[in-house]
Chain A
Amino acid sequence: MSNIRFEQIEGKSLGFYTLIIGLGILILAALGSVYYVEHYGHFVTGMNNRIVWGMPHVFALFLIVAASGALNLASIYSVFNKKLYKPLSRLSGLVALSLLAGGLMVLVLDLGRIDRLIVAMTEYNFKSIFAWNIILYNGFFVVVAIYLWMMFERRMNKFSHKVGLVAFSWRLILTTGTGSIFGFLVARQAYDAVIMAPMFVIMSFSFGLASFILILMASYKWTNRPLGDIIVNRLRNLLGVFVAAVMYFVAVYHLGNLYLAENTGIENFILFDGGIYTKLFWYGQIILGGIVPIGLIYHPITKGDRSMLGLSSVLIIIGGFVQLYVIIIGGQAYPMELFPGKEVLEGYGDIAQYLVSLPEIFLGIGGIALAMIIVTFLVKFLAFLPESLEDDLADSYHKG
């Protein structure tokens, strides 16, 4: 059973170096914009006192959410004992770590006082869900790193199931924590909902798997290693279920909110008359990021087509960004209900304007680039990728 051969990629081709240099440039662009924003202050961004969290947070949360989701493939093997996923488990851990690193980079580099990061690591307010998240993120690195070690080191293989269980629990708690960053904001009608936490968990399943599939297919294609249909089809079906589950949670969330008179304002805003946010919600999140991928995944014509799976994954990722944009920025743009039963004529109560700025986008893309560069480098130096994922091999893992 354990005759899966993991092997480093060669990493000497022109393509490899082009990829590294391209990603490096994106990271440098991100660092440049960080310097620019920190030097002049946040007035050079589109963020303001009403939209306090902007594009960087959309990117950061996407990456963090996707990170915990990417670990699922490893968990399916070690927690649920599905041997088919064993060859994918190392890469799954790696993608999880690198996406989280990218997300945290974005989150941290948008702080007003980056120079005081040490304060965030030494002063903890244990009532703050944010402080808990700092612990959860740092812990995730440790837990997943140990998990990878258990998988790599033959002597330690026997522990990998137990550590896998810890990692799986940790990632569930982590995404619950991330969702709770919003779910616990009692003041804001857009966020104050416990369903935020499980919704983020299910979002992580979908975004994480979509990112993983893209990385898997790209790395096998670029290194000319065989990738059989059995594994790809498994992943495709899983992805379809996850996307549908996200849509179910979105529906429940909005229906539940519509029921509360207090929240009808924000619901009408997002669903019907919110201008850009309504358009993004329906066209971006629901159609592009939900219905179209489900169609591509399940329709008999496109079902077997691998590039269509790639397209669905891309659409799911785009839809995921749009969803977080609508949640984070749309949720802030609509004013809070300060005076129930009264109408605010002046001074507050307008829809907050947000015009995203280039440095914010550069920073966000830099986070993605960091995640990608980590994956690219590590698959070169450590044996993360099975030499072959051909059908007959996959089949034998499955049976064995």
Chain B
Amino acid sequence: MNKTLNRRDFIKIMNATTGVAIVASGITLTTFASVSEIPVTNKKRWGLLINTNKLTETDIDGMINACKQEQGWGTEIHSTASQKPAWIKKLKVKDKATNKVSSLALMCQHCEEPPCVDVCPTNASMKREDGIVLVDKHLCIGCRYCMMACPYDARSFVHETLNNQKEHMPRGKGTVEACTMCVHKVDKDETPACVESVNSEAVIFGNLYDESSQINRTLRVIQSSQIRADLNLNTGVRYSGI
């Protein structure tokens, strides 16, 4: 190993040490929780599989309530029904040929190629490496172009002043929001609130890439579909039974 230290290396090391020193001097009393300090990577891709044959309407109502509880939306007082946020919706669809009626939960589909991210002028709409699509509300200017672009009507605009938000879910007037796949829980190795609320195996959450995960194994054997598969967005939320 070359032990001579050239000028550039020296400056690099000096910068690093002073950087650490400054940061360390800032906070000394820190409680360390069991959280990852490593950025998420594209080795994982989080997804949901919703089986509409098993999913009852009560399940869907439960999912919606769990989402409201967890994320704190739905208590808006001034907004009209069509102005209120709807991070997750209950839809009933009837097949035109067979007349079969299915109920399903519709939320942000966490596309691999999200149109909302493409159109956002300020990079506020963004996709994490692990496939979760979020709104960076620090950058959102409230232009609503992402809502125009979303094929799933998944996003909501906050039409009124809010307070008493959840600590993990900042939300504010004039910005756009949507399902976060409970990213604050996923980062702690937990499961999204809506998935937890369903007792059966009608909704499965997991890493689509992990061959040992339940979602991957199930998707291998059953027939599943993506909504608006024709758009080729490769959604993270999959459905079976419709």
Contacts and interface: CB of A to CB of B under 8 A. Distances in A.
Direct A–B contact present (CB less than 8 angstroms): yes
Interface of A: 38, 40-43, 47-53, 111-113, 116-117, 119-120, 123-125, 127-131, 134, 181, 184-188, 332, 336-348, 352-353
A345 B173 contact: no
B151 A336 contact: yes
A128 B160 contact: no
A331 to B, nearest CB: 9
Contact of B161 (A40, A49, A123, A124): A40
B242 A339 contact: yes
Given A127-B117, A336-B153, A343-B96, 18 more contacts: A40-B78, A42-B83, A42-B159, A49-B86, A49-B147, A111-B143, A131-B121, A184-B119, A187-B150, A187-B151, A336-B151, A338-B228, A341-B95, A342-B96, A344-B93, A347-B92, A347-B106, A348-B91
Q: Which residue, B142, B147, B153, has most C-beta atoms of chain A within 10 A? A: B153
B92 A344 contact: yes
A351 B78 CA distance: 22
B68 interface: no
B97 interface: yes
A348 B82 contact: no
Contacts of A127: 117-119
Contact of B93 (A119, A125, A342): A342
Nearest to A191: B148
B143 A49 contact: no
B51 to A, nearest CB: 16
Nearest to B159: A43
Given A49-B83, A116-B141, A43 B94 contact: no
B159 to A, nearest CB: 4
B161 to A, nearest CB: 6
Task: Please classify the interface of chain B as helix (H, G, I), strand (E, B), loop, or mixed, using the class held by over half of its residues.
Answer: loop
B144 A112 contact: yes
B227 A130 contact: no
B170 to A, nearest CB: 13
A125 B122 contact: yes
7 contacts: A43-B160, A49-B153, A111-B142, A112-B175, A128-B119, A185-B115, A332-B148
Contacts of B148: 52-53, 185, 188, 332
B219 interface: no
Contacts of A43: 76, 78-80, 83, 159-160
Contacts of A336: 151, 153
Contacts of B76: 43
Contacts of B78: 40-41, 43
B83 A348 contact: no
User: Lowest 5 A-B CB distances belong to which pairs?
Assistant: A112-B142, A112-B174, A187-B151, A347-B91, A48-B82
A342 B106 contact: no
Given A48-B80, A49-B147, A338-B227, A346 B161 contact: no
Interface string B152-172: 110111111100000000000
Contacts of A134: 121
Interface string B95-132: 11100010000100000000101111111100000000
Contacts of B121: 120, 123-125, 128, 130-131, 134
A185 B242 CA distance: 26
A111 B143 CA distance: 5
A130 B143 contact: yes
B100 to A, nearest CB: 9
Nearest to B118: A127
B174 A41 contact: yes
B139 interface: yes
B231 interface: yes
Given A43-B80, A128-B119, A49 B157 contact: yes
Given A49-B82, A131-B121, A338-B228, A112 B153 contact: no
B188 interface: no
Counting chain B CB atoms within 10 Å of each CB, which of A117, A123, A181 scores highest? A123
Nearest to B229: A340
A111 B119 CA distance: 16
B202 interface: no
Contacts of A184: 119
Residue in A117, A188, A339 whose Cβ sees the most chain B Cβ within 10 Å: A339
B66 interface: no
Contacts of B174: 38, 41-42, 111-113
B115 A186 contact: yes
Contacts of A187: 115, 149-151, 228, 231
Nearest to B227: A338
A114 B16 CA distance: 39
Given A116-B141, A339-B242, A353-B82, A128 B95 contact: no
B232 to A, nearest CB: 10
Contacts of A129: 119
A363 to B, nearest CB: 15
Contacts of A52: 144, 147-148, 157
Contacts of B84: 49
B145 interface: yes
A348 B227 CA distance: 14
B6 to A, nearest CB: 37
B192 interface: no
B90 interface: yes
Contacts of B186: none
